[in-house]
Amino acid sequence: MKLRRTTKSRRTMAAVAITTGLVLTAAGCGGGDGGDDDSSKKQNASSGASSNQDQGGGQDEKDGQEGQDGQEQSDDVLAEVKGEEDITLTVKSAVRDEGGFVTVSGSVTNNGNRFFAAANWRGEERELNKNGSSVAGANLVDEKGKKRYLVLRDTEGRCLCTKFTGGVKPGQTSEWYAQFPAPPESTTKVTFQVGAMPPAPIELSGSE
């Protein structure tokens, strides 16, 4: 719930984000640059007051209880990939925000028996070194427009994204989000990738 409230403050940081150089030509770049908001609740909020009145406050409780095993949330999942160190990455939402940004969010589950520090998810750019244990190195690829969009960061190089403080323990699921420059309105499908995880095709939804 706290992560949900902090999303808008993150968006205000986007006003000072350095967008120059964050949009790259996809051709020849490859998809793997290598590196909390509960977006399913954001979608519930945007679906209209009538839907919320029917479901009542119990829906939030249900989401929290059933988030442990990932069941009953399949309708909200845009993509799910499994890869390095027995990690499952789920994308639950990819929403265009006012101001020309896209907020992508989801969850990371550590299915292994070792601590996951997301070391190579922070990206290889020098200015991203301060963003350890984060999704700072994630990118969106617009194959049709042949462009790649990197995670936004502020003037001090801090990403507008989740940092997994303390990492992700075995058996633990952590929520994450990342903000990107928005592709043109005509672009409705992009591919999300971070670290050595497989590409995850996702569809963008309109602004709230």
- Distance from C-alpha of 111 to C-alpha of 43, rounded to nearest angstrom: 27
Which residue carries 């499908």 as its tokens?
A: 189
User: Where are the domains positioned within the chain?
Assistant: 2-51+76-203
As to burial, measured by CB atoms within 10 angstroms (0-12 exposed, 13-18 middle, 19+ buried), residue 197 is: buried
pLDDT-based confidence at residue 7 (cuts at 50, 70, 90): very low
List, for residues 103-151, the tens digit of each pLDDT value. Answer: 999 999 999 999 999 988 987 777 777 788 899 999 999 998 899 999 9
- Distance from C-alpha of 36 to C-alpha of 7, rounded to nearest angstrom: 7
Quote the pTM value: 0.66
List, for residues 139-194, the tens digit of each pLDDT value. Answer: 999 998 899 999 999 888 889 999 998 889 999 999 999 999 999 999 999 999 99
Give me the CATH topology for the region 2-51+76-203.
Answer: Immunoglobulin-like (2.60.40)
